[in-house]
Amino acid sequence: MMYDYLIVGAGLFGATFAYRASRQGKRCLVIDKRPHLGGNVYCEQVEGINVHKYGAHIFHTSNQEVWQFVNHIVPFNRYTNSPVANYQGRLYNLPFNMNTFYQMWGVITPDEAQRMIEAQKQEAQHQLNGGEPSNLEEQALTLVGRDIYEKLIKGYTEKQWGRPCKELPAFIIKRLPVRMVFDNNYFNDSYQGIPIGGYNKLIDGLLEGVETRTNTDFFADRNYWEGVAEKIVFTGKIDEFFDYRFGQLEYRTVNFEQQTLDTPNYQGNAVVNYTEAQVPYTRIIEHKHFEMFGQQVYDVPRTVISREYSMEWKPGMEPYYPINDERNNQLAEQYRQLAHDCPNVIFGGRLAEYRYYDMAPIVEKVLKMKIE
């Protein structure tokens, strides 16, 4: 065996594992079928701007160990995620807070806002006649009422999942943050930010001194790759690893329409969600706002935006989000049982575990792993 670990996939899980294993003296090889390292956190430089090629990635955590670890690799900036929702040309702050309620109803005190929400929640609960919500629409109406649901949840959610809210399970939206304060910070975590210089700096730091190969597909010569290392760390699709034995898992994917514009500041914010169903894209990302603040925005004369279109995944597309409905969850559990019987393979990440993960929990999971 030439290596202790073959790591299939150079995303955050694979790169963090390679960092830890190599520093314990393990011989690691990281391969990725894409032409670059970094997986979905990869950034491309356009007009001096780090463009998040596979969608916005905002690192946030309350775990001090995780925060110190990533900042040890590359310092992070002070970016605070404060998205805005655009509904029929009117703007609303997210998450739902006193700014949102003022924009929605003109209320200026928490008591006024609470009364508006409670009245609409009671109406929704009355419609259920004592029953439990059976779908996402009913669940949302009982949590925040009709006005917020119709303007800020319904259209966006249906675009994201490609299904009417009445056909989506209630558990998808069991909790909705409602803040009775004027606070537009989307996350409740203690720490958040973007690596200074972009996510490529983080990945390059994690993989420094580790052998890597891009444009290399594990499945194109599986027999060879399974023979080069004592153990495999697999971060691809778990159903593909087992040759789709029980059938294919389903995913949502995202198509990005990127534009470079002759203006230094297109929308004044990194993230603007478009929540009405008639607008085909879910949001517009203006990438420079992740790393440029104040006058820095105008020091770079052009800007880059990406419109995001959510759609059903098909073979040949990049899978992004697992679809956590009953059918897929049962199928995924069958594959996880097969994974338990593979002592020399470590399955990690969104695709290999068929679970939705933010970045920080991925890092935390790898930091807790015992590497032998």
Q: Give the model confidence (pLDDT) of 74-131 as tens digits.
A: 999 999 999 999 999 999 999 999 999 999 999 999 999 999 999 999 999 999 988 9
Q: Give the model confidence (pLDDT) of 140-182 as tens digits.
A: 999 999 999 999 999 999 999 999 999 988 888 887 889 999 9
User: What is residue 248's predicted lDDT score, i.e. its pLDDT?
Assistant: 95
Catalytic residue numbers?
A: 175, 179, 252, 283, 308, 356, 358
Q: How confident is the model at residue 365 (pLDDT cuts 50, 70, 90)?
A: very high
CA pair distance 292, 264, nearest whole angstrom = 11
301 pLDDT more than 90: yes
Which of 341 and 324 is assigned the larger pLDDT? Answer: 341
CA pair distance 149, 157, nearest whole angstrom = 10
The predicted model gives 209-236 an average pLDDT of 98
User: What is residue 324's predicted lDDT score, i.e. its pLDDT?
Assistant: 78
Phi, psi dihedrals of residue 254, rounded to the nearest 5°: -135, 135
For residue 178, give the DSSP letter: B
User: CA angle at residue 349 from 346 to 352, to 5 degrees?
Assistant: 65
Q: Is 33 helix (H, G, I), strand (E, B) or coil?
A: coil
CA pair distance 59, 75, nearest whole angstrom = 12
Percent of the chain with pLDDT over 90: 94
The predicted model gives 179-192 an average pLDDT of 96
Please, is 311 exposed, middle or buried when counting C-beta atoms within 10 Å of its C-beta (0-12, 13-18, 19+)?
Answer: middle
Question: What is the residue-averaged pLDDT of the chain?
Answer: 96
Pick the CATH number of 3-81+189-249+322-368 from 3.40.50.720, 2.60.40.2890, 2.160.10.10, 2.40.110.10: 3.40.50.720
Structure tokens at 364: 């935390």
Model's pTM, two decimal places?
Answer: 0.94
User: What is residue 171's predicted lDDT score, i.e. its pLDDT?
Assistant: 86
User: What is residue 185's predicted lDDT score, i.e. its pLDDT?
Assistant: 96
CA pair distance 40, 34, nearest whole angstrom = 10
Tokens 């594992």 sit on residue: 17
192 pLDDT more than 80: yes
Q: Give the model confidence (pLDDT) of 4-23 as tens digits.
A: 999 999 999 999 999 999 99
Centre a 10 Å sphere on the Cβ of residue 313 and count the other Cβ atoms it contains: 19
Q: Give the model confidence (pLDDT) of 43-77 as tens digits.
A: 999 999 999 999 999 999 999 999 999 999 999 99
Contact 60, 189 (CB under 8 A): yes
From-to residues of CATH 3.40.50.720 in the chain: 3-81+189-249+322-368
CA pair distance 160, 255, nearest whole angstrom = 12
Long-range contacts of 25-28 (CB under 8 A, 24+ apart): 26/371, 27/2, 27/3, 28/3, 28/4, 28/210, 28/211
- In one letter, which amino acid is 150? E
- In one letter, which amino acid is 289? H
Contact 212, 3 (CB under 8 A): no
Q: How confident is the model at residue 1 (pLDDT cuts 50, 70, 90)?
A: confident
